[in-house]
A and B are shown apart, each in its own frame.
Chain A
Amino acid sequence: MAEEQLVTFSLGSEEFGVDIMRVQEIIRIPPITRVPKASEYVEGVINLRGNVIPVISLRNRFGMTRVEETDLSRIIVLQVQTKVFGIRVDAVTEVLRLESEAIEPPPPITLGMDAQFIRGVGKIGERLLILLDLDHIMGGETNHDVCA
């Protein structure tokens, strides 16, 4: 039986999941350098052991309001194809396994965010987990970034 292992995190009251195979590491928020003229959702760049990687604010990406950094705030460093980047989240919650059957396609009316970022919705009892489509979080957007 197929199952997926996910890293889950929260943004406000919503809970999200990403495929654990894409997660390189989870770090506390280091100093972030703003990048002028980059897309709004690009929070900036950070130094990850000598490599410069971009960080995306998921709140901004999903049109949510900004919040102050807390002790729980984290950056999840992801590797999508050959690209490494971080997503900033309110808190990382847990690592869990989810049966493939428990994953449903994204509902036609999404939770106020762009449907292209959502791969599906996972159900764990009463909990709803939004599964992110990582290829679109940044990859699909590179073209018009440049013109910004």
Chain B
Amino acid sequence: MGRDEDNKQGIELGEFLDFYLLDSQEQIERLGAGLLQLEKEGENIGLINDLFRSAHSLKGASGTMGFTPIVSLTHAAEDLLDRLRQGKIEVSLEMIDILLAVTDRVKAMLAQVEQRQDITVGFEDLVSSMRLLLNGESVDVSIASHPVEEVIETLSFVPLDFSLTLDEREKLNNAYSIGRAVYQVDVALESNTLMKAVRAVMATQVIEGMGTVIKLLPSVEELEAGTAESFSMLILSDESKEEIKRDLLEISELVEVIVHSYPNSEELGDLDKIPNEINKTIAEEKIKPISKQETAVIPKGSVKAVASPAAEATTGEGNTQVHTIRVDTVRMDNLINLVGEMVITRTRLVQIGLDLKAQYSTDGMVNNLNEANVYLGRLMNDLQESVMRLRMVAIGTVFNRFPRLIRDLAKKTGKEIDLVLKGEDTELDKTVVEVIGDPLMHLIRNSVDHGIESPEKRREAGKPEFGTITLNAFHEGNHIAILISDDGAGLDLDKIRQIAVSKGLVGEREELSERDVANLIFLPGFSTADVVTDISGRGVGMDVVKKALNNLGGMVDITTRRGKGSTFTIRLPLTLAIIQALLVEVGQEIYAVPLSSVLETLLVSREDIKTVGGLPMVQLRGNTLPLISLQEKFDLPAPESESGEVFVVVVGFGDKALGLIVDELRGQQEVVIKSLGDFLNNLPGIAGATILGDGKVTLILDIGSLLQDVLVNRKG
């Protein structure tokens, strides 16, 4: 199977392979999105035509490259879609399920191709189901879900750390040395299984019949006590994976059994590295006959950046010509870096011009220079804007993967959920788009799991059975706001407070507004076992979401109404590369404050600063504005003479604001954000560094983290 033809042809497939992968991944995304649309809208001949074309070109390309499994799958799908197109059969739910399964399967195959492995993903079952559908017969849709998950699991398999004792480790080593197979068996139980521990004991007994169980995780005692719906076993056996799986599945209430080979303990030192290394060695073996250049991995960014046109392609007639070219992201980043350096150099030129003017103010040549500088400045602004636009990607590229997620989650939880997407065209920087997916996904999972109630409960509460989750993106000044709202139960604020108090995160008597309480869920250490479920709680807490967003210079906020639902609001800067900044001086150091988060600057008399709860505050137009002294925060030397007035830079996002007390304002400038490197990242309150016109390094303040600091720890 797999790339059996390339030896025969003996041509260098590497470069073509990259193009093929890019194109196929795009087609597959398009197919997936189109199928979901078809499910929603029912018969739509234009859409079916598009789907047919996607399947057709995928088949054609895969045939040229010699990936027979992909050809077989897409060929059958194409037949099916052709029949639909001719109106000989009708769209059915099971058909959509099977076709979606086809896209998953092809994705998994493409992933193997990308890693230069042979295609081992099975496809015969789906092909035969599609044949049945073709003849108007019904099929068993269950194959649509299970085997695919297994495939994906195998690809991303990370061996579990069983924390073996020395004794157990020795058994394992013995097994490796005599060549006995070691497996990790992951077993999922039906969610309503009552006696989980009993199932685990039964499973161990089955294994003991054909090998040895070294360790069960979680242990029988923990299973008895806990709510875990799955367990893993480390076993030695001479039987094949399939046989183990088959025997285990005979036990009732085991819904899923996945058997992986467990890597040798010698390599277990660094668990995270293993899958990569395995892939690498496999990849190296496979590509022997191919030239060195081909081993180059496709830059990830370039794959992601082109995944967008799915939406417009399915709605349009398909023949509209798109005037776009694909550019490697590395080249684009180079361009942006160069522009960044030019911005710095121009700032220097301006400085030199001003110095010259101070010295030879009457000289006409100096004026000429300064005029040219101004013009250069304008050109630079345009250039910069154009370059930044190159990196702008519609957020729809991220949103597009969520309909499928919601569909699957809804099926799994038995809830009925509609996902509404708004503002998919809103553009933001590629770097932001790349990293925003995971936090969003976590928040959505959270909404499905904790937000939307079951249909019965919703009916009781007098709400429509269909829960709605809305994803909305829009520009708000220099920021992008992303709202994730659900019309579910809302947060149980009393319970949150209770948990926070019991964990010592807040004092029992502290006065907290509803919003403060809701925001407690973002505290590290809040998410624990009692809120963990299969979907949202995988040991990743909301604090991780918050931190990920803070790292991007953004923040997250939550509003909730009991019985009505919750809304998470994410605010992020539009770009992460070049920003306008306000330079401020504190304790003889200069810091840059991103101008996008500066609301205003004030001159405040010291007498007006009051201390409330240990924190300085000032009244601003009837509102209390909390203040931070940067000099104290950063342990800087105090100014020699204290004047009666201080400068306050008011910063904030949305309706959250904070005043920074500084010594001087030094004007506005555009700065190129540079990383502080591995050694110094994650410093509180510092987002990065930049280089000013005089060549000196200046630190950029992280307003998001400063704000969040004050909002969350304001009592501390």
Q: Which residues of A contact B (CB under 8 A)?
A: 30-31, 33-38, 42, 44-47, 50-54, 83-85, 138, 142, 145-146
Contacts and interface: CB of A to CB of B under 8 A. Distances in A.
A33 B679 contact: no
The B interface is mostly helix, strand or loop, or mixed, namely: loop
B388 to A, nearest CB: 19
B502 interface: no
A83 B679 CA distance: 8
A142 B697 CA distance: 22
A54 B676 CA distance: 8
A54 B680 CA distance: 8
Contacts of A52: 674-677, 689, 691, 697
B689 A37 contact: no
A131 B358 CA distance: 52
A37 B679 contact: no
B633 A36 contact: yes
B691 A38 contact: no
A35 B691 contact: no
Given A36-B635, A52-B675, A146 B682 contact: yes
Interface residues of B, number: 26
B683 interface: yes
Which 10 pairs across A and B sit closest by C-beta, in order of nearness? A36-B634, A33-B697, A52-B689, A52-B674, A45-B697, A146-B682, A31-B696, A47-B697, A47-B691, A54-B679
Contacts of A30: 695
B346 to A, nearest CB: 14
Contacts of B684: 37
Contacts of B676: 35, 45, 52, 54
Nearest to A51: B674
B460 interface: no
Contact of A50 (B341, B634, B636, B683): B341
Contacts of B341: 50
A50 B683 CA distance: 21
A34 B698 CA distance: 9
B683 A33 contact: no
Nearest to B630: A36
Contacts of B699: 33, 35-36, 45
Nearest to B634: A36
B616 interface: no
B699 to A, nearest CB: 7
B140 interface: no
A33 B678 CA distance: 17
A37 B636 CA distance: 10
B218 interface: no
A37 B674 CA distance: 18
A98 to B, nearest CB: 29
Interface in B683-714: 683-686, 689, 691, 695-699
Given A47-B691, A47-B697, A52-B689, A35 B678 contact: no
Given A52-B674, A142-B678, A36 B344 contact: no
B4 interface: no
